């Protein structure tokens, strides 16, 4: 085990574009359904729907947060709709499953998505059984990362000592609260962080490109 992580007893992983490669384009399908949802909601064309969607994402952290605040959208209805996608783009990841098996400590998923969707994705990847706990957007009181509120709820809910926890995330901005709370932070720099390719040495402890490859090296499986 890399000595930088020898103290870690709780491993917290983001889901989308983190536990599966961003190159699969799975989130593009969700993005498309978000756009279609906004078109129906506002009776607007695709161009305006895209503008509204991205404006809410950048202003509120997620499109949902903006739609709830400005258009009183029911979060359950929205999440059920946009997550109704096919998962045929992802396949079981045996390498990741083996690495998670070898990783000592408790493993959790912390996502801005909802639990039913997260479990579908974990099941499709063949890794659901390796995660003891799941903290979704509802468990965060619908206050998405990087709002610190959800992080504190996660820590309290599962009695996590942040000084003995590591967070793995593809959106660098979502690691800032984790670092402030005392966690070790790992940024998955795979191109999924839209419009932001800068490094953030002040709150990122390690930058990697692929979770499975990194875990193989971390647990000594890679030859």
Query: Based on the domain organization, do 166 and 197 belong to the same domain?
Result: yes
Query: Based on the domain organization, do 123 and 209 belong to the same domain?
Result: yes
Question: Could you give the CA distance from residue 52 to residue 167 in angstroms, rounded to a whole number?
Answer: 30
Query: Based on the domain organization, do 147 and 215 belong to the same domain?
Result: yes
Domain total of the chain: 2
Question: pLDDT per residue over 119-152, tens digit each?
Answer: 999 999 999 999 999 999 999 999 989 999 999 9
Q: What CATH number has the domain bearing residue 53?
A: 1.10.150.450
pLDDT value at 157 more than 90 = yes
Query: Based on the domain organization, do 203 and 160 belong to the same domain?
Result: yes
Query: What is the mean predicted confidence (pLDDT) over 176-197?
Result: 83
Query: Based on the domain organization, do 100 and 68 belong to the same domain?
Result: no
**150, 44 Cβ separation under 8 angstroms:** no
Question: pLDDT per residue over 82-120, tens digit each?
Answer: 999 999 999 999 999 999 999 999 999 999 999 999 999
Question: pLDDT per residue over 36-69, tens digit each?
Answer: 999 999 999 999 999 999 999 888 878 998 999 9
pLDDT at 59: 87
Query: Based on the domain organization, do 120 and 76 belong to the same domain?
Result: no
Query: Based on the domain organization, do 34 and 16 belong to the same domain?
Result: no
Radius of gyration of the chain (CA): 17
- Give the Cα-Cα-Cα angle 26, 76, 13 (nearest 5 degrees): 45
* End-of-domain residue from the set 56, 82, 108: 82
Question: Could you give the CA distance from residue 12 to residue 196 in angstroms, rounded to a whole number?
Answer: 23
DSSP conformation letters of 123-141: HHHT-GGG-SEEE-TTTTT
Residue 220: closest CA among 98, 106, 127: 98
pLDDT at 191: 75
Question: Could you give the CA distance from residue 163 to residue 16 in angstroms, rounded to a whole number?
Answer: 25
Q: What is the domain range of residue 45?
A: 26-82
**DSSP at 110:** E
Partnered with residue 76 across adjacent β-strands are: none
| DSSP H helical ranges for the chain | 26-42, 46-60, 63-71, 75-82, 94-102, 115-125, 148-157, 175-181, 211-219
pLDDT at 195: 43
Torsion of CA 114, 5, 157, 174, to 10 degrees: -50
* End-of-domain residue from the set 82, 103, 124: 82
Query: Based on the domain organization, do 130 and 49 belong to the same domain?
Result: no
**67, 73 Cβ separation under 8 angstroms:** yes
Query: Based on the domain organization, do 161 and 189 belong to the same domain?
Result: yes
Look up the pTM and report it. Answer: 0.92
Residue 158: closest CA among 101, 108, 113, 112: 108
């Amino acid at each position: 085990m890399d000595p930088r992580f020898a103290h870690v007893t709780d491993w917290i992983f983001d889901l989308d574009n983190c536990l599966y490669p961003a190159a699969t384009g799975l989130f593009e399908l969700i993005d498309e359904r978000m756009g279609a949802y906004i078109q129906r909601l506002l009776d607007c064309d695709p161009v305006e729907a895209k503008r509204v969607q991205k404006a809410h994402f950048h202003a509120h952290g997620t499109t949902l947060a903006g739609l709830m605040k400005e258009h009183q959208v029911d979060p359950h209805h929205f999440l059920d709709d946009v997550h109704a996608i096919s998962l045929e783009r992802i396949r079981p990841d045996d390498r990741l499953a083996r690495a998670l098996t070898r990783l000592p400590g408790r493993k959790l998923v912390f996502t801005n998505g909802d639990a039913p969707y997260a479990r579908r994705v974990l099941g499709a990847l063949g890794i659901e059984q390796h995660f003891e706990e799941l903290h979704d957007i509802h468990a965060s009181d619908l206050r998405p990362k990087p709002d610190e509120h959800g992080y504190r709820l996660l820590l309290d809910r599962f009695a996590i000592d942040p000084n003995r926890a590591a967070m793995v995330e593809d959106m660098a901005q979502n690691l800032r609260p984790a670092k402030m709370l005392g966690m070790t932070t790992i940024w998955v720099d795979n191109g999924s962080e839209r419009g932001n390719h800068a490094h953030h040495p002040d709150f990122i402890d390690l930058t990697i490109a692929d979770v499975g490859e990194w875990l193989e090296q971390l647990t000594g499986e890679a030859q």
